[in-house]
Structure 1
Amino acid sequence: MNKKIKVLVVDDSLFFRGVLTKKLAEFSNIEVLGYARDAFEAKEKIPQLNPDVVTLDVEMPKVNGIELLKQLLPEYPIPVVLVSSVNMNVFDALAAGAVDFVRKPDLSKTDSVSSFMNELASKITIASRAKVTPNADKGVISTLSKTNFSPMKTSSLANATIIALGASTGGTEATISVIKDLPPDTPGILVVQHMPPGFTKMYAERLNRLCKMEVREAMDGDIVKNGLVLIAPGDYHMKLVKIGSNFIVKCYQAEKVSGHRPSVDVLFNSVAEIAKKNAIGIIMTGMGRDGAQGLLNMRKQGAYTIGQNKESCVVYGMPMVAKNIGAVCVEASCENIPHVLRKHLSSL
């Protein structure tokens, strides 16, 4: 019998604490150790109870979830799953070291609560196997600039290159590490990050402030061009198509693929079909196998493929599967992937 995952619930809402502690206890692989009503109580109970995973409300009075993470994780590197409404602060909390997040449900709808609890339990399970790296400074954006870059020298072939990137758990910060310092003339980048609706637009806005390239949430029919990063919208698949001389993205709702919508496999498979050898695929941290088969299809078509290495992954799942099936040309840390990417582009 597998050992149960010990969970501490941190939330200032009496009603929501009750829902979480009661419903999580119904999952056979989870043991709820108790709850904390605020950051002060959490800091007392964590050393006492030694949980495997903490669920954390981002918005709390006095000391919010972000400040708690900055104080807690350097001493107690425990996986934290955020429970949040649609709020930009969730990305500051992820930057401070949280592993993942779940969107708060509409408690008046039974189906919404049930779906939320299943998602939270799944992410707790993934988080229990995650590598926690606290970094309270990665979220600071005021010190970054869109200037002072060295232009990338690319050939006409490189100008037609499509870069496709897929990530899941831990991917929000890993993706920033990859693209934030890429110069504005970098070939167009298409990104699938497993993320719910509402958050993908805010994530794109955050990246746009951090990066030298332009970043925005993709819309159906957007043209892929140099200097532009398009983020797949939550709950929509995104694939590459070609109309005339233009590469464009199609965003659409259909059945989940590899358990996800948006799915990395959908993006990678379309890039393999449309861009063939004029493409680069990057698969990053995340649980499961979404993107692995698509990346293999890209490599079979002559694309250059990069996998994030185990040491830098929060969860070495998707890149591991991709490597094991022969989809990865080279592995690198998320910090080193930009160098690998630019070196390849300069060789084209």
Structure 2
Amino acid sequence: MSIRVLIVDDSALIRELLSRTLAKDGDIVVVGTAQDPIEAREKVKTLSPDVLTLDIEMPNMNGLAFLEKLMRLHPLPVVMVSTLTKKGASETLLALELGAVDFAAKPGADLSGGLDAFGAVLRDKVRAAAHSDVRGRAMRATPPKVGIRTASAPTGSVIAIGASTGGVEAIRAVLSQLPPDCPPIVIAQHMPPGFTGRFAARLDEVTELTVVEAEDRMPLLPGHAYVAKGDFHLRVERSSGQLKCRLSQDELASGHRPSVDVLFESVAKSVGHMAVAAILTGMGRDGARGLKLMRDAGAYTVGQSQASALVYGMPRVAFEEGAVVEQAPLEAIAGKLANALVKLRSAA
């Protein structure tokens, strides 16, 4: 069955570009376009699209204001198509907090920068959005902040987290429950350049942890979280007796850079049984192979449960391949990680 899409953008050129791009493979049908949220509101009612693509800067009503109303009154999978600017990155992350499923960076004004690649990414994101549980997420309350008093662990311990579609909010939910005495946290979230720095800054604002965008050779410190930089793989390596971030731009792994598999595999090799890890919502299979290596090395691993995942893709593959010790709802994952760290401390 075809995926029915409504495109909302004030630029006629972009509406035409997106219409042609989305229709390329035949499984996505653009049922309509709208030049502003007022027109979009009526077309949502009359056309009943499966997915909506949404710009932010539009006349008559800001895209974020429209998104907030839409998710409150008529929850619908939304993919933001945003400009790749600092302001655009901040607004896009806010859109994800308001309920958008994912985002794609809009092509430049000269339509350069790889239209074919942009189109392939956008179509994949629309497909994932069409299979996401947006209405279920809208009905569920925000995971409560569980009072985890300590997540301390022996020196050399590491928490590794990987996610894709829906991961921005899932990672925020997990990190917001972890106390500042936890071991270093390394994070691979599928996200393009220009967005990961703002994502890290936002996490730093809303959690008790110090969250930064990872830089090469940056030492891993307790109470700190390191977000993989867009278009760079993040690895954990041991150098001169200290764990450090290593960044590289070698080939894509599992179709991604940063790749969760690359991060998890490095943690398995460098940290072994002293690590704990979580694989969260996302489409595809990135992370399953690396997480299995972590489990085989003796690490505790947890996967987000189907009922709580916006897109139960990466956690499903990890579960089916025996990479997770257990599955848990999003609100319980921080507690599971903390308990595993307490056991490490007791064993030490």
SS in 2 for 1:335: helix
Q: Is the 8 A contact 2:107 2:113 kept in 1?
A: no
Counterpart in the other structure of 1:69: 67
Task: Check if 1:289 corresponds to 2:285.
Answer: yes
Check 1:107–1:25 CA distance in 2 against 1; reply closer, same or farther (3 A cut): farther
CA–CA distance in structure 1, aligned partners of residues 333 and 149 of structure 2: 18
Paired position in structure 2 for 1:20? 18
Cα shift at 1:136: 12
Contact persistence 1:96–1:136 (CA under 8 A)? no
**CA–CA distance in structure 2, aligned partners of residues 27 and 226 of structure 1:** 47
Contact between 2:151 and 2:338, CA under 8 Å: does it hold in 1? no
Partners in 1 of 2:255 and 2:151 — Cα distance?
Answer: 39
- Secondary structure at 2:238's aligned position in 1? strand
Matches within 5 A, 1:102-141: 102-132=104-134, 133-134=137-138
Deviations 1:60-90 (A, max 9, x none): 2332122111111233221110000132011
The one-letter code of the counterpart of 2:107 is P
TM-aligned CA deviation for residue 335 of structure 1: 1.2
Superposition CA RMSD, Å: 1.9
Shift of the alpha carbon at 1:24?
A: 2.0
Mapped to 2, the partners of 1:259 and 1:247 lie a distance apart of 27
Q: CA deviation at 1:153?
A: 6.1
How far did 1:107 drift?
Answer: 4.0
2:27 to 26, 29, 51: 29
Secondary structure in 2 matching 1:277 = helix
1:99 paired to 2:101 = yes
Take 1:191 and 1:297, find their aligned partners in 2: how far apart are those partners? 17
Paired residues of 1:238 and 1:251 also in contact (CA < 8 A): yes
- For residues 101-250 of structure 1, what are the structure 2 equivalents within 5 Å? 101-132=103-134, 133-134=137-138, 151-152=149-150, 154-155=152-153, 157=154, 159-250=155-246
Residue type of the alignment partner of 1:72: L
Using the alignment, how far apart are the partners of 1:112 and 1:323 within structure 2? Answer: 35
- The 1-side partners of 2:228 and 2:16 are apart by 35
Distance in 1, matches of 2:177 and 2:18, equals 40
Change beyond 3 A, Cα 1:90–1:220: same
Q: CA deviation at 1:166?
A: 0.3
Residue by residue over 1:28-64, the C-alpha shift from the partner in whole angstroms, topping out at 9 and shown as x without a partner, is 1111111011111111100100001100002223321
Residues paired across the two proteins, number = 336
- How far apart are 1:27 and its partner, in Å? 2.7
* Cα drift, residue 212 of structure 1: 0.3
Give yes or no for contact 1:107–1:113 (8 Å, CA) kept in 2. no
Tell me whether 1:330 sits opposite 2:326 in the alignment.
yes
d(CA) in 2 for partners of 1:137 and 1:335?
10
Q: Does structure 2 retain, via aligned residues, the 8 Å contact 1:165–1:192? A: yes
| C-alpha spacing 1:259/1:303, structure 2 compared with 1 (3 Å) | same
Q: Give the TM-score taking structure 2 as reference length.
A: 0.92
Give the Cα–Cα distance (whole angstroms) in 1 for the partners of residues 60 and 182 of structure 2.
43
Q: Give yes or no for contact 1:106–1:112 (8 Å, CA) kept in 2.
A: no
Gap regions ≥5 residues in structure 2: none
3-state SS of paired residue (1:26): coil
Identity of aligned residues (%): 43
Matching residue of 1:141: none
Choose between structure 1 and 2: higher helix proportion: 2
Gaps of 5+ in 1: 139-143
Q: 1:73 aligns to what SS in structure 2?
A: helix
Shift in CA distance, 12/97, structure 1 to aligned 2, threshold 3 Å = same
1:257 aligns with 2:257: no
Secondary structure, aligned partner of 2:103: strand
CA distance in 2, matches of 1:268, 1:23: 34
Could you list the runs of 4 or more consecutive aligned residues of structure 1 that deviate by over 4 angstroms after TM superposition? 135-138
State the TM-score, normalizing by the size of structure 1: 0.92
Any idea what SS the aligned residue of 1:74 has? helix
Task: Give the Å deviation of 1:12.
Answer: 1.1
